[in-house]
């Protein structure tokens, strides 16, 4: 609507118009469709107090109820008041015009007075209808702008790196600020969160209301994604990832909002989806425990306290047995049971699921002795669960490490110390508790491993890794001339290479191998794309070693496939080496990995072949192209008849199955001659060729392929 002065001027003109038509008129009051006075032109003596009769007639007219002519004329002090209902073309009420006429001057019949004033009130009616449409349109625009501002603020706050409770509390405040509701609250019993903003019921009443709403949300036939309406609240269920209802989000005093109920429903659904996203980011979806990065931050913050805090590191023993024997649903159930047990044994403390089967708990203001008792309680109660199927029985156990948060002796990293103690508990029998003691020799060895892990992680983050290539010599005609195995090295502060034996076992123990393998794959492809633009599968092959941790990761397969497709490198140039023991331990994942990348064009080698109990049987299962004979059979092949027999048997099976073979750790010319006579395809070892920087090897081979030259193998000196 126009500004107040502009509005008063326009309506003042109508007052003059009415006075011209009815000189007896002394004053005017205009009510809006809700009965509120939005404009008046009072008599000199003022408007008398409103009577019940006046209110009754006014309410009837606003509601559209018919009144007899004289029923719309009311005595109000020294005046007759003539009430005229104003409506638009669709007869929607716009308001009521009250004309005050001096009773001493005239007592005009109602119908006569209304007809006399018709030109004025009809014109006023049209004016108000137009203004109402303008105001309505403006109000819709204002509400829409408020909604857009609200959505923008919510979207922004959701992506800020704040504590979960802080983010959710800010969202509740935005609801009150932008939606115009009296109050709002969020109840998540499983997370121990009850947050409220504005005018909401007091604490006890709010808890009862929350229980009532949660019961309704979990009742049969409930429509989980729809907003629900009550006299005291509009609310919606919170269901992260579409799982079971975890809580409710509600708006109180919603009728005072300028937002329509339909718009509020849409906005509430939007807010609920973002609450889901915040919970998903801050809590583990399977167990409902806090996400590990958040607990890490709490551990760092708690480490600065002067109070005594303790860390528990827990690892479920043999969870893969449950997954393989009873299925992954049973494995998930084991994880959930441990999470529930932690909530029961250490209520009020913060627990997190760190990785697949490992957990952590921060015990604030808890001594190491008390923490050990709690950990032993967890171990004992966890063993009470039993899983049975046919002849198989599994009783889960958990190994727990306990360490003080400060002064742990490992760079003051209490969790690392707790992990060390947890690994020691596994070494000493599993299903037990160990407390970190720096004097314990086995624990000190693990501390050394942790320091090495930090060295490896730093090398990855600061790009202090290097790739080298070791050549394989073809021993039979028709084999790939330029075949190399890709190996990774750490570059130390002096620029020298650190051998894998000094860091690989620690990287495997502390779950760094997938990160390392990703770096190797990505860097190898980048070098091939830059320096090996002419290489195809028949010209060259580069074999990359893969760890069991990478094979066990669903995300790693997708990463490798995407990296190869996006690199522009011919897939036939790439081979992957998987050790026999890893392939057997992760048979299903290994088969899926091999079959997927074989379809792309990559090749596979089964490394350390011959060390397993049923090696030949596995050749029916894995779609490999090459067998790498374990070096223990090659080192002494010229002097040991048993080794010669094993290698000969592998070579014969490979010939029948049309597979290539590689002999590792070849040490002299006599071994090469013997291997060639046994029809081995390739030889590898320092006698055959030492390592060169991978990028140099690729560039040299690419140049040779273009020029048609044959590259001599590196010197064996």
Element (H, E) at 448: helix 441-461
**Residue 409: what pLDDT?**
43
Query: Coil, strand or helix: which one is 383?
Result: coil
290-438 folds as: Alpha-Beta Plaits (3.30.70)
* Tokens matching residue 102: 């001096």
User: What is the dotted CATH code of the domain comprising 456-707?
Assistant: 3.20.20.450
Q: In the chain, which residues fall in CATH 3.20.20.450? A: 456-707
Q: How far apart are the first and last CA of the chain?
A: 95
Q: What are phi and psi of 455, to 5 degrees?
A: -65, -45
Rg of the chain on CA atoms, in Å: 40
**What is 4-136's CATH superfamily?**
Dynein light chain 2a, cytoplasmic (3.30.450.30)
159-282 folds as: Beta-Lactamase (3.30.450)
Q: In the chain, which residues fall in CATH 3.30.70.270? A: 290-438
**Residue 391: what pLDDT?**
63
Instruction: Summarize pLDDT for 224-258 with one digit per residue, the tens.
Output: 778 888 877 888 888 776 667 888 888 888 787 77
The residue ranges of the chain whose pLDDT is under 50 are: 1-2, 407-412, 444, 613-614, 714-717
Cα atoms found within 13 Å of the Cα of residue 12, Cβ hemisphere only: 6
**For residue 522, which of 550, 548, 482 has the smallest C-alpha distance?**
550
Q: In the chain, which residues fall in CATH 3.30.450.30? A: 4-136, 159-282
Q: What are the residues whose beta carbons fall under 8 Å from the beta carbon of 717, sequence distance 6 or more? A: none
**Residue 273: what pLDDT?**
82
Chain centre distance of CA 442 = 37
Q: How high does pLDDT run on average in the chain?
A: 83
**Residue 715: what pLDDT?**
44
Give 507-552 as a DSSP string. Answer: HHHTT-HHHHHHHHHHHHHHHHHHH-TT--TTTEEEEEE--HHHHT
Element (H, E) at 271: helix 261-282
**Residue 716: what pLDDT?**
44
**Residue 241: what pLDDT?**
66
**Residue 570: what pLDDT?**
93
């Amino acid at each position: 609507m126009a500004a107040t002065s502009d509005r008063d001027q326009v309506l003042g003109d109508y007052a003059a118009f009415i006075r011209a038509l009815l000189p007896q008129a002394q004053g005017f009051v205009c009510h809006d469709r809700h009965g509120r006075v939005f404009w008046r032109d009072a008599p000199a003596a003022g408007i008398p107090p409103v009577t019940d009769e006046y209110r009754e007639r006014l309410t009837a007219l606003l509601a559209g109820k018919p009144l007899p002519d004289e029923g719309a004329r009311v005595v109000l002090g020294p005046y007759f008041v003539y009430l005229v209902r104003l409506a638009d073309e669709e007869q929607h009420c716009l308001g009521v015009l009250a004309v005050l006429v001096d009773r001493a001057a005239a007592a005009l019949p109602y119908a006569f007075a209304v007809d006399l004033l018709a030109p004025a009130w009809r014109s006023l009616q049209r004016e108000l209808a137009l203004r109402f449409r303008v105001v309505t349109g403006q109000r819709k625009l204002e509400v829409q702008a408020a909604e857009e501002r609200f959505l923008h603020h919510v979207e922004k706050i959701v992506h800020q790196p704040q504590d979960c409770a802080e983010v959710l509390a800010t969202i509740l405040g935005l609801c009150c600020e932008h939606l115009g509701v009296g109050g709002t609250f969020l109840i998540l019993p499983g997370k121990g969160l009850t947050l409220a903003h504005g005018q909401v019921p007091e604490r006890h009443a709010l808890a009862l209301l929350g229980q009532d709403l949660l019961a309704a949300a979990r009742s049969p036939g409930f429509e989980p994604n729809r907003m629900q309406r009550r006299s005291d609240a509009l609310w919606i269920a919170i269901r992260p990832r579409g799982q079971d209802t975890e809580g409710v989000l509600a708006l109180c005093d919603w009728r005072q909002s300028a937002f329509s109920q339909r718009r509020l429903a849409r906005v509430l659904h939007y807010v609920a989806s973002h609450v889901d996203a915040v919970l998903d980011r801050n809590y583990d979806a399977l167990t409902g425990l806090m996400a590990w990065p958040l607990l890490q931050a709490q551990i760092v913050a708690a480490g600065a306290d002067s109070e005594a805090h303790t860390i528990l590191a827990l690892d479920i023993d043999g969870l893969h047995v449950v997954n393989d024997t009873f299925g992954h649903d049973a494995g998930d159930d084991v994880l959930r049971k441990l999470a529930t047990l932690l909530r029961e044994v250490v209520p009020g403390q913060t627990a997190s699921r760190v990785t697949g089967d490992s957990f952590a708990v921060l015990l604030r203001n808890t001594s190491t002795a008390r923490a050990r008792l709690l950990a032993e309680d967890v171990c004992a109660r966890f063993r009470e669960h039993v899983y049975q199927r046919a002849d198989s029985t599994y009783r889960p156990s958990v190994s727990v490490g306990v360490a003080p948060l400060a002064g742990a002796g490992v760079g003051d990293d209490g969790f690392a110390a707790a992990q060390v103690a947890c690994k020691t508990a596994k070494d000493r029998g599993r299903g037990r508790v160990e407390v970190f003691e720096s004097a314990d020799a086995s624990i000190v060895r693990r501390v050394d491993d942790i320091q090495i892990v930090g060295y490896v992680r730093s090398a990855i983050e600061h790009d202090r890794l290097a790739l080298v290539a070791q050549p394989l010599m073809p021993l039979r005609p028709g084999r790939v001339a330029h075949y190399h195995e890709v190996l990774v090295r750490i570059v130390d502060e002096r620029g020298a290479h650190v051998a894998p034996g000094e860091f690989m076992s620690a990287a495997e123990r502390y779950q760094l191998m997938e990160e390392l393998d990703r770096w190797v794959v990505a860097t190898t492809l980048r070098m091939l794309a830059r320096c090996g633009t002419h290489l195809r599968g028949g010209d060259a092959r580069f074999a990359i070693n893969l760890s069991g941790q990478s094979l066990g990761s669903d995300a790693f397969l997708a990463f490798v496939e995407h990296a190869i497709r996006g690199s522009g490198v011919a897939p036939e140039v790439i081979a992957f080496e998987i050790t026999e023991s890893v392939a057997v331990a992760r048979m299903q994942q290994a088969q899926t990995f091999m079959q997927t990348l074989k379809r792309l064009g990559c090749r596979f080698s089964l490394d350390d072949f011959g060390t397993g109990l049923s090696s030949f049987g596995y050749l029916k299962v894995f779609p490999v192209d090459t067998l790498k004979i374990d070096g223990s059979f090659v080192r002494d092949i010229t002097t040991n008849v048993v080794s010669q027999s094993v290698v000969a048997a592998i070579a014969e099976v490979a010939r029948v199955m049309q597979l290539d073979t590689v002999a590792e750790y070849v040490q002299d010319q006599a071994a090469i001659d013997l291997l060639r006579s046994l029809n081995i395809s390739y030889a590898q070892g320092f006698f055959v060729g030492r390592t060169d920087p991978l990028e140099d090897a690729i560039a040299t081979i690419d140049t040779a392929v273009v020029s048609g030259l044959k590259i001599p193998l590196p010197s064996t000196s």
